[in-house]
Structure 1
């Protein structure tokens, strides 16, 4: 039974005395970094070169089943690669590490891909039903620098897909319905339109593949589970207000989240929560759900069903195994539900029963064993 989260006088005092940007505070630029550990230990994280080599090795072992395509080059000249596998009519897009300092989406994607390449009965059955486009490393330059943004434009690649007038007006309609002020016209001119070469290359790959479903793998800071003393290790999220989605989309993405939460939560070390409400139409998963425009203003005339995973911060070597595993378990649960056609029977309203993500954990005092860089 979960108990109300206790307030600690020592913690509050520390927060009151903390500088404006204190070491260890959860922030918008990536996972939680424990106090005194500003230099991140990256020994458990694959480099861009290692990820590319692993993809090529898997393709060689797959006897032609896996095709790795270089769809372009990053701002600093690194390959942008997509792994294609499967012959099924349902198309699924999985991407990791769009934020360069959120590493284990790459490792989870490769772990998932290794099982698909293994040739076992489970993999063969899935590949008859589903075709995959898997991007372990969306932002290779940011990953090598271990920074959220790309390294040429210094922009968040997950805010760099196209938004048109239709989407802007739809967003404002939602804001008004929620009692919020509409965005001023000047905000529309500031919306992004594929400024980075990475955004351009991956939008065209998405438009060509036309995935029915998308799953985006992220890290967040370190947070409590609702109003409890437990730490969130895994969150499921949807990047748009339901008012911007069709009824079928809203139901489908919630079902995907419920299935992933159920699967990840079966492990004793995993505490699953629901990511807080957001509404970012310029994000990759959002624009894919809204048929957002491409780099030249063109349209794919396609809407994907997209959601995302968020693993906890404190991403050290000791915790990397279960952080990767919870993502892989979530991926397989969704894929199996699609493959055996049970996804449509999942109760989408169970989405609201997933515990909400709580307040940020800003010190290692509460969970000293989790601060394991």
Structure 2
């Protein structure tokens, strides 16, 4: 890429620029879970923590044991002492980890995971049965229950039943998707899920998020979903991490091919920034980044297990008050269909035959550099 220039932005990230790109006049960054689309907020189709528990129990009962629902209490509870719920379905040798709502205001992702579990628990269709024969799904519908209840992106740290206070007298909060790092794990949530991940040792992972408003490059179409990798393909880190530079691109292309012809879906590659200045993220503190890097925190992952991972970014969030009831169903459905597609591709092995270089066919703005947290 030639000479690069590194600066640190106010958000705490480092931006790595290709030579010839200027940072002057740079607009505010669009970060994962950041400012969102315009519209009217509706909670009608959103799932609360209590809703999730009830729905999981109903799914387990209806599935007649096909879906196993359980808490992670053996690993710990949330900062506000809530149980984490997980579900397992399938009998196949390939383990796929699916997580949603690590940011508390990204709520439609939880509904999509629950819809998937419901279908896979009750459907006897040949395509579902073929997936479950080859894959075992480990699903976390709500990674951040405290943040979901507070309707905040982050979560609040607690001590002795009270919020921890910083030097400014305000409550200390943390973005759970920046807490899987050697100097991280400040939140109880992070350690619980890290221990569980280290025990499961999945082969693949998919992480569901929401993002801000943007349009597909070269069009006037509002992006409904972006496909991303937290360690940028062809970027500073991923090409040297096993073969994940190829497999994560293959995963994205497989999902893109499955969804691109739906008329209400407008899909592109995930980038941050604004205007013509767009950057791919290369963050090492993100949960799925740590998975790909094989993080061994406190010797809890001594074999340095790692797995490839991608994420979906759906437009809108509830903190900004801009999820419209009419669009909620479409946005949830695209996540559900994307999950089902990648599971089919993994189960059948078809994802491995995709040309990773076709990743360039997924619409994206010209690359201005990389946004980093290291």
Q: Is the 8 A contact 1:117 1:123 kept in 2?
A: no
**Alignment map for 1:8-23 (pairs within 5 Å):** none
Q: Is the 8 A contact 1:44 1:316 kept in 2?
A: no
- Pair 1:289 & 2:280 matched: no
Residue 248 of structure 1: CA displacement?
1.8
2:180 to 154, 161, 173: 161
- Pair 1:130 & 2:135 matched: yes
> Normalized per residue, which structure has more strand?
2
**In structure 2, C-alpha distance between the alignment counterparts of 1:95 and 1:318, rounded to whole Å:** 25
Structure 1 pair 351–144 and aligned structure 2 pair: CA distance change class (3 A): same
Tell me how large the CA RMSD over aligned residues is.
Answer: 2.3
Residue 296 of structure 1: CA displacement?
6.0
Query: Matched residue pairs, number?
Result: 306
Q: Find the counterpart in structure 2 of residue 75 from structure 1.
A: 79
Uncovered stretches (5+) of structure 1, i.e. residues with no partner? 1-19, 164-191, 359-373
**In structure 2, C-alpha distance between the alignment counterparts of 1:44 and 1:120, rounded to whole Å:** 26
Give a deviation string over 1:269-322, Cα, whole Å, max 9, x none. 111100121011110000000011235665352111101000112422110011
Give a deviation string over 1:65-120, Cα, whole Å, max 9, x none. 22212113211122111101111110000010000111111011011111110141
Q: Is the 8 A contact 1:234 1:270 kept in 2?
A: yes
Q: Find the counterpart in structure 2 of residue 323 from structure 1.
A: 331
SS of the equivalent of 2:174 reads: coil
Q: Is the 8 A contact 1:193 1:294 kept in 2?
A: no
Give a deviation string over 1:112-142, Cα, whole Å, max 9, x none. 1111101413322211100110001000010
Uncovered stretches (5+) of structure 2, i.e. residues with no partner? 1-26, 158-171, 272-279, 317-321, 367-374
Residue 266 of structure 1: CA displacement?
1.9
Q: Find the counterpart in structure 1 of residue 204 from structure 2.
A: 213
Structure with more relative contact order (C-alpha pairs < 8 Å, separation 6 or more)? 2
Q: Is the 8 A contact 2:33 2:210 kept in 1?
A: no
Residue 247 of structure 1: CA displacement?
5.1
**In structure 2, C-alpha distance between the alignment counterparts of 1:316 and 1:31, rounded to whole Å:** 15
Give a deviation string over 1:144-200, Cα, whole Å, max 9, x none. 11110013251000000023xxxxxxxxxxxxxxxxxxxxxxxxxxxx421111111
Q: Find the counterpart in structure 2 of residue 51 from structure 1.
A: 52
Q: Find the counterpart in structure 1 of residue 267 from structure 2.
A: 272
Q: Is the 8 A contact 1:89 1:130 kept in 2?
A: yes
Q: Structure 1 length as normaliser, TM-score?
A: 0.77
Structure 1 pair 299–315 and aligned structure 2 pair: CA distance change class (3 A): farther
Q: Find the counterpart in structure 2 of residue 110 from structure 1.
A: 114
**In structure 2, C-alpha distance between the alignment counterparts of 1:104 and 1:75, rounded to whole Å:** 23
Q: Find the counterpart in structure 2 of residue 201 from structure 1.
A: 192
Q: Is the 8 A contact 2:35 2:211 kept in 1?
A: yes
SS of the equivalent of 1:54 reads: helix
Structure 1 segments of 4 or more deviating over 3 A? 25-31, 295-300
SS of the equivalent of 1:278 reads: strand
> Normalized per residue, which structure has more helix?
1
